[in-house]
């Protein structure tokens, strides 16, 4: 089933962008001064969001997508069907590779992302990905082994 099939209605990209802009206003960025906000539509109609939270030990900084996925888990789980991410000026950002993998893990099949080059599916921005769907397919294939 694709994200379009699971979507509770038309995707309101303006509402998602507004939620991402609100989220970035809470970013903790004393080092980079580069706030990021992310928002996503969940298959049950909720919108979840997150912001980046820096740390003096740069390697343990949390991306906005991490906060978003944490919010998803804390508010009932589900699968992401549409996602957007913005910088401090409200401009659309493309999630880094690590965050694309994180989003893939929690996405509905065919999840849509608003990117700098337009609306793309998760499979377009993370081709040949490996995640829960592949593990489930492997398990189903090897149930009788």
Domain boundaries, position 76: 3-141
Q: Which residue has the higher pLDDT, 134 or 145?
A: 134
Hey, which residues are catalytic here? 65
Q: Is 55 within any annotated ligand binding site?
A: yes
What pTM was estimated for this model as a whole?
A: 0.88
* Helix 64-74, helix 97-105: angle, nearest 10: 10
Which of 64, 137, 51 has its CA nearest to residue 98? Answer: 64
Specify the range with the lowest mean pLDDT, choosing from 36-40, 51-55, 112-116, 133-137. 133-137
pLDDT (0 to 100) of residue 4: 43
What CATH number does residue 101 fall under?
3.40.140.10
Q: Is 87 within any annotated ligand binding site?
A: no
Q: Is 31 within any annotated ligand binding site?
A: no
pLDDT (0 to 100) of residue 9: 66
Average pLDDT over residues 102-110: 95
Q: Is 57 within any annotated ligand binding site?
A: yes
State the total domains in the chain: 1
């Amino acid at each position: 089933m694709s994200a379009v099939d699971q979507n509770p209605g038309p995707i309101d990209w303006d509402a998602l962008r507004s939620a991402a802009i609100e989220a970035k206003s809470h970013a903790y960025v004393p080092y980079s001064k580069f706030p990021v906000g992310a928002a996503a539509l969940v298959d049950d109609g909720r919108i979840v969001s997150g912001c980046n939270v820096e740390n003096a030990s740069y390697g343990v900084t949390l991306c906005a997508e991490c906060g978003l996925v944490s919010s998803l888990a804390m508010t009932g789980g589900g699968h992401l069907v549409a996602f957007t991410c913005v910088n401090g000026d409200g401009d659309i950002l493309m999630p880094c590779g690590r965050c694309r993998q994180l989003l893939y893990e929690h996405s509905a099949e065919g999840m849509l992302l608003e990117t700098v080059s337009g609306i793309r599916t998760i499979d377009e921005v993370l081709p040949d990905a490996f995640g829960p769907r592949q593990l489930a397919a492997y398990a189903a294939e090897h149930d009788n082994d």
